[in-house]
Copies of this chain bind each other. A is one copy, B any other.
Amino acid sequence: MALVVQKYGGSSLESADRIKRVAERIVATKKAGNEVVVVCSAMGDTTDELLDLAEQVNPVPPEREMDMLLTAGERISNALVAMAISAQGAEAWSFTGSQAGVVTTSVHGNARIIDVTPSRVTEALEQGYIALVAGFQGVSQDTKDITTLGRGGSDTTAVALAAALKADVCEIYSDVDGVYTADPRIVSNARKLDTVPYEEMLELAASGSKILHLRSVEYARRYGVPISVRSSYSDKPGTTVAGSIEEIPVEQALITGVAHDRSEAKITVTGVPDHAGAAGRIFRAVADAEIDIDMVLQNVSNTEGRTDITFTLSKANGPKAVSELERLKPELGLTAVLYDDHVGKVSLVGAGMRSHPGVTATFCEALAKAGVNIEIINTSEIRISVLIRDAQLDDAVRAIHEAFELGGDEEAVVYAGSGR
């Protein structure tokens, strides 16, 4: 008998009918002899509808109240799934994040889990119940206010619960049936992966893959929780995210997949005085605005002792970063702050590149052959990322996928459901 944690995303729960289908799967898992804990996101459009209502009454809503408001969505979906399970002959109790013992920091809208003490969940399981836990939320250790966990919060809730309960697996259900060697909507012969080690999944998630959120993969890796990425629309086996690249024998290490990211923009600050501290002032100004930076490129200074600094960031933060840097212009004597949101990032991920020389060369040659110019390059031990023109992203993904022979023989399955 295993303890299974399942997480269902909003599109899997978007109607009463989908809820009943999800309940069938949950009940089947229970009847197969497992203990089952389920984490549900809010139904379909609920979160967006609540955000819209909030904006109508206050364009800049206080964060504490935003968390009170949004957490209603998960409460609704989990209670409905519990009811649907009950209609199908099993018993279920739903719990809020707080009731399930999810304790967090006080940062509203982006709280981090400090601890999970799921005693009420354990009691429910001991009494033969299926336990449902509202995802995306917890209670602040300090203020006892309700908090939400930021993007991917429901995935994080599920993995954190699985860790605390020492579950055998954490199944993440959405409308995609696994992790592919590239986005099947771009690469028609993309192959579904059977297994991906944690470190590679972390890189894929950080490089634009939306299948699992970075924080949940980090959590899974830290506590050794195996994640199974599956579709709520089919029974096909999914992709297992588990194990470390350290456990893979050198000769078996592979190139795993290609990720792409359209969500970034590029800022170039020109005329930066070439002395110690100037770059620091620029990056500090952006950091103080609580904006994360991704790729960085600093050119060699020119004959006038000035240089350019380029970095990428999320498009959403673009305007704010530009305005912070504009304020710095007079003081540092900068020439200009240039903003470019027609960039895209493509990345190759695989433990194999540690032991196979020439991966970078093959990568760059493939892009050159496809007529794609590299603007910034950034690597880690198991990842190569480049910034290019966003219009060339699809070509770049295909070129790299081809060059590393990642494709399978079959046509990739098109995403079921409404797509992500």
Contacts and interface: CB of A to CB of B under 8 A. Distances in A.
Interface of A: 16, 19-20, 23, 50, 53-54, 56-62, 64-66, 68-69, 71-73, 75-76, 78-84, 86-87, 92-94, 99, 120, 144
Nearest to A60: B87
Q: How many copies does the complex hold?
A: 2
Contact of A83 (B16, B61, B79, B80): B61
A82 B65 contact: yes
A94 B54 CA distance: 14
9 contacts: A20-B57, A57-B80, A57-B81, A57-B84, A58-B83, A65-B86, A65-B92, A66-B83, A72-B79
A65 B87 contact: no
A4 B209 CA distance: 53
B144 A99 contact: yes
Contacts of A79: 54, 65-66, 68-69, 72
Contacts of A19: 57
Given A53-B76, A54-B80, A57-B84, 16 more contacts: A16-B53, A16-B56, A53-B80, A57-B87, A58-B86, A58-B87, A62-B86, A64-B93, A65-B92, A66-B79, A68-B75, A68-B94, A69-B79, A69-B83, A72-B79, A120-B144
Shortest 7 CB-CB contacts between residues of A and residues of B: A16-B56, A69-B79, A58-B87, A57-B84, A68-B79, A72-B72, A58-B83
A75 B79 CA distance: 15
Majority-rule SS of A interface residues: helix
Given A68-B79, A83-B62, A57 B99 contact: no
A73 B73 CA distance: 10
B65 A83 contact: yes
Contacts of A81: 57
Contacts of A92: 65
Nearest to A67: B79
Contacts of A99: 144
Contacts of A86: 58, 61-62, 65
Contacts of A83: 54, 57-58, 61-62, 65-66, 69
A82 B62 contact: yes
Nearest to A78: B68
A65 B94 contact: yes
Given A53-B16, A144-B99, A71 B75 contact: yes
Contacts of A120: 144
Contact of A58 (B64, B84, B94): B84
Nearest to A88: B58
Given A59-B87, A75-B75, A99-B144, A68 B53 contact: no
Contacts of A64: 93
A50 B78 CA distance: 13
Contacts of A16: 53, 56-57
A57 B24 CA distance: 11
Contact of A82 (B23, B68, B144): B68
A75 B69 contact: yes
Contacts of A65: 79-80, 82-83, 86, 92-94
A81 to B, nearest CB: 8
A135 B93 CA distance: 23
